[in-house]
Amino acid sequence: MEESRRERKKRQTRQLLVGTALRLFAEQGYEQTTVAQIAAAADVATKTFFNYFPTKEDVLFAEVLEYMEQMAGVVAEREPSDRVADVLLKTYDRVIAHYLTKGPPAGDRELAKVYEHLLATVPSIQAKALHMMFGMQREVARHLLEAFPDVLDPISAAAVAGAFVGAVQGAGGAAREAGQSDEEIVASMARAAEIAIGGLRPF
């Protein structure tokens, strides 16, 4: 089925709102920017903004669902020989790849900076991001449990997913905070994945 005019307009408006919001956040800061301003700059009613995004923060997390789908795909395509750790590593690779091709830095290098800065400075955005991450972690756990019912139970699946995601995310945050470049950050997160898989006894 082709994309209808209605669907196209909806996608455009959504995109416009995201872009406008990001621009204003970059120019004036997150808290200094009101939803009314964003709507006005995008030339829609304030209410329309809330028709698209449940909260002001959500405009920053428009593509989370895509990542969830990517993760689901990895588990679906797994090889019979893949064990839990293999699937997790492939998931990590896939998400990174998706970020590099479809994420903000792909088209616009500046936009990535904006995201980073917001994430580093606005507590409510940090909390929201963690909440999203938590949702993704639960998805990972759910998929793992489904794919490996013989070696995992709901608790260990959650533990495994938590360890992996927690390590990668913790290292990513630390790397960013340390001022590492994008490539270094990705490498740091990969190292964290190895640490999670290898366990903490070596330390």
Partner DNA sequence: TGTAAAGATGCAGTGAGTGTAAGCTTGCAT
Partner DNA sequence: ATGCAAGCTTACACTCACTGCATCTTTACA
Q: How far apart are CA 34 and CA 151, in angstroms?
A: 50
Residue selected from 10, 42, 83, 116 as contacting a copy of itself according to rule CB under 8 A: 83
- Give Cα separations from 111 to 56, 97, 136, 153 (angstroms): 18, 18, 23, 41
Q: Which is nearer to a copy of itself, 24 or 171 (CB)?
A: 171
Rg (CA), the chain: 19
Min separation Cβ 31 and DNA, Å: 8
Angle (deg, nearest 10), helices 5-28 and 109-121: 60
Site of tokens 């030339």: 43
Could you tell which of a copy of itself, DNA, none binds residue 34, using a CB distance below 5 to 8 A set by kind? DNA
Residue selected from 15, 48, 107, 149 as contacting DNA according to rule CB under 7 A: 48
Is residue 55 a contact residue for DNA (CB under 7 A)? yes
Site for a copy of itself in 130-189 (CB under 8 A): 130-131, 134, 137-138, 141, 148, 151-152, 154-171, 173-175, 178, 188
> How crowded is the C-beta side of 66, counted as CA atoms within 13 Å?
12
Could you tell which of a copy of itself, DNA, none binds residue 13, using a CB distance below 5 to 8 A set by kind? DNA
- Whether 47 and 116 have beta carbons less than 8 Å apart is answered as no
Could you tell which of DNA, a copy of itself, none binds residue 7, using a CB distance below 5 to 8 A set by kind? DNA
Residues that bind DNA (CB under 7 A): 4-7, 9-10, 13, 33-36, 43-48, 50-52, 54-57
